[in-house]
Amino acid sequence: MPDGLDYNLIVIGGGHAGAEAAWAAANRLRPEFDARGGAASGGAKGKVALVTMDPSKIGAMSCNPAIGGLAKGQMVREIDAMGGLMALAADATGIQFRILNISKGPAVRGPRCQSDKYAYAREVQRLLATRPNLDILTGAVQDFIIEDGKCVGITYLPQTPDHRPTQSLRSSATILTTGTFMRGLMHTGPSQTPGGRVGEAPSVGVSAALTKLGFELGRLKTGTPPRLAAESIDFSTLELQPGDDEPIPFSEMTPAPGFPGISGSPADHFPVLAQKPCWITHTTARGHDLIRANLDRTPMYNGQIETAGPRYCPSIEDKVVRFADRSSHHVFLEPESLETNEIYCNGISTSLPADVQEQIVRMMPGCENAIILRHGYAVEYDMVWPHQIDATCMTKRVPGLFLAGQINGTSGYEEAAGQGLIAAVNAVRFGRGEQMVRLRRDQAYIGVMLDDLVTKTPREPYRMFTSRAEFRLLLRADNASERLTPLARELGLIDDARWECYQATREAHAALQKDIATRSVEGQPMSRWVARQEIDTDALLAQLNGDPLPDLARDRRVVDAFLADLRYAGYIHRQQKQIDQLASQEAAPLPPELDYAGLPGLRTEAALTLNKFRPTTLGQAARLAGVNPADLMVISVALNNGGA
């Protein structure tokens, strides 16, 4: 570690972004490590500090106790492909696994896991504790240390029994991941409570510190539904929603049926925890009438909350107003843990007064006698408008200061974790004076997300959808390792065990390809037979029975990916040609100091937009609202003539 520094990297906040950032940085700064969380050999090359107000809440699932879903599941696989911890923790603590959109094409399928939320947080904390070069410090951040325009550390107030005064920590880079805690304010009807999560105080000093540095802050809103006591619900009257018969894990490092697992231990098995179903109920017309009658008591409609919430995950009061013709909405009753009786009401996020919530819940079938363990609430929080960061997650205003997670206007555990990983990679590289990394839109959903954040101003919390990715045939859940693990290896993020797992998978893929190329089925080449739409993974596995193939070539995950590559080869080839055609424009760098207002012929609207967002490439500039092809031509001419 360089002289004069307490740490190579400081991570602020222990949510999903902070945990992933701390994990990735601690791994990158060690010569060797075990990606399953075991003891590692070799001495530490650098140290990481994770500063949080409550270490027991690291990895907490504040809202829905689930990981993955449509597009989100792809991001979890991408995080895993780059050596992250989210997939490992989800696999170890999942109580229901499902592949969403299984009847549709592989590009829009999404792996999802219902997690035991308490076990998940413990597993994240356990994994982080295996990193001896990671210190977890309890305290509240007060300010940033800025020297020569760069962030070189923080001041924080330790929360210790001896009441120590404010401390200074110096580092090469700092990652800020505040979640919903920056001036967080929770609303249940007229009741307002400062905090970013029930029972947890807000972070107040960070907002002031960022404002002092000149950052433009915004304010967003999210919400959560009531939790019910399981014993008070009549599940016998409700539709059952089971998980998949053969659960598919997120991580390639997690053994599955028929898959030996890289650890090689016969004791390894999957799934780890007992699997539980969910149930489906619905709101009622009577409940909707009650909501309409009480809109003047809900913060979203009486002016108490003025900030934007997510349209894709609206509160029940929003649903009733926006979809007035609907007499009911589905509500998914999801167990939160094997250890408690808590049931999560997915579909009725609300900030209605407690007495109204009680009545609405008891109007739902099966919930006539339901007991509410915790009422739903909305939470408002500060964020930093993301045009002020680069796709590396570093702020443009203050080098050495990185932002990740909800502070950038996103929503969701998976989006936060993806940003935390990229921020950590680049924070370490920044501290070493190395070129930073930007994932492309054709390379990862994480790349799509970061590009969207730096080229569009979010009007609501940003959530990833498959529709946001123009090259989604290339960005499937089943090929994440193929897309990203070689890069992760190059960046020093993954260990030998994970690399061997990747190589074994590629060898199995090649063995399948060779086997199919030499066989015939039903009087035709097997390569033609297997491309038929009615041929699924089970049919192919049946044909492979008895063939001399490595065990891994019979694993469902490998065969699924192989079939997708084969079936969509023509479409993938066309998409790749489009990417190649756009590559020169996409990669053309733009000088960071360029004053667009001074370019002759550039429209005023385009100049204002470009000076605000400061795109780093011509491709990013092309995706800015208010910049048209003629503007791009003006910029290109200026670059070619040396006028920029």
Q: What is the pTM of this model?
A: 0.91
How far CA 578 is from CA of 470, 566, 617, in Å, comes to 11, 19, 18
User: Which two tokens mark 207?
Assistant: 């907002």
**Nearest C-alpha neighbor of 408 from the set 230, 323, 422, 399:** 422
Q: How far is CA 579 from the centre of its chain?
A: 25
pLDDT score for 33: 56
CA 611/CA 600 separation, integer angstroms:
15
pLDDT score for 506: 92
CA 183/CA 465 separation, integer angstroms:
29
pLDDT score for 269: 47
Residue 471 DSSP symbol: T
CA 593/CA 101 separation, integer angstroms:
46
Per-residue pLDDT reduced to its tens digit, 333-350: 999 999 999 999 999 999
Averaged over 437-444, what is the pLDDT? Answer: 94
Q: Are strands 227-229 and 342-346 parallel, antiparallel or unpaired?
A: antiparallel
Cβ atoms of residues 402 and 436 within 8 Å: no
Band of the pLDDT at 265, cuts 50, 70, 90?
A: very low
Per-residue pLDDT reduced to its tens digit, 383-393: 999 999 999 99
pLDDT score for 202: 86
CA 253/CA 268 separation, integer angstroms:
11
Per-residue pLDDT reduced to its tens digit, 143-162: 999 999 999 999 999 987 77
364: which residues sit within 8 A by CB, 6+ positions away? 281, 282, 283, 284, 287, 331, 370
Averaged over 443-453, what is the pLDDT? Answer: 95
**CA-only gyration radius of the chain, Å:** 25
Place of tokens 């108490």: 304
**Nearest C-alpha neighbor of 537 from the set 559, 520, 521:** 559
**Nearest C-alpha neighbor of 453 from the set 365, 388, 541, 513:** 388
433 by DSSP, 3-state: which?
A: coil
Cβ atoms of residues 116 and 337 within 8 Å: yes
pLDDT score for 258: 41
Average per-residue pLDDT in the chain?
89
Amino acid at 552: L
pLDDT score for 278: 96
pLDDT at 264 over 50: no
pLDDT score for 2: 65
User: Which two tokens mark 65?
Assistant: 């106790």
pLDDT at 44 over 80: no
Residue 236 DSSP symbol: G
CA 550/CA 444 separation, integer angstroms:
29
Crossing angle of the two packed helices 72-81 and 445-455, in degrees rounded to 10: 110
* CB neighbours of residue 97 within 10 Å: 24
CA 506/CA 511 separation, integer angstroms:
9
H helix runs in 363-469, sequence order: 413-431, 445-455
Averaged over 404-412, what is the pLDDT? Answer: 94
Place of tokens 């004791």: 267
Q: In what order do the strands lie in the sheet with 342-346?
A: 239-241, 278-282, 330-335, 342-346, 227-229, 372-374
User: Which two tokens mark 599?
Assistant: 């370019």
Per-residue pLDDT reduced to its tens digit, 28-39: 998 655 555 444
Q: Taking the CA of residue 639 as centre, how many other CA atoms within 13 Å lie in the half-sphere pointing to its CB?
A: 16
SS (H, E, C) 573-638: HHHHHHHHHHHHHHHCECCCCCCHHHCCCCCHHHHHHHHHHCCCEHHHHHCCCCCCHHHHHHHHHH
Q: Which of 274-278, 304-308, 579-583, 622-626 has the highest mean pLDDT?
A: 274-278
The conformational region for residue 369 under phi > 0 = left, psi -120 to 50 = alpha, else beta, is alpha
Cβ atoms of residues 251 and 485 within 8 Å: no
Q: What are phi and psi of 279, to 5 degrees?
A: -135, 155
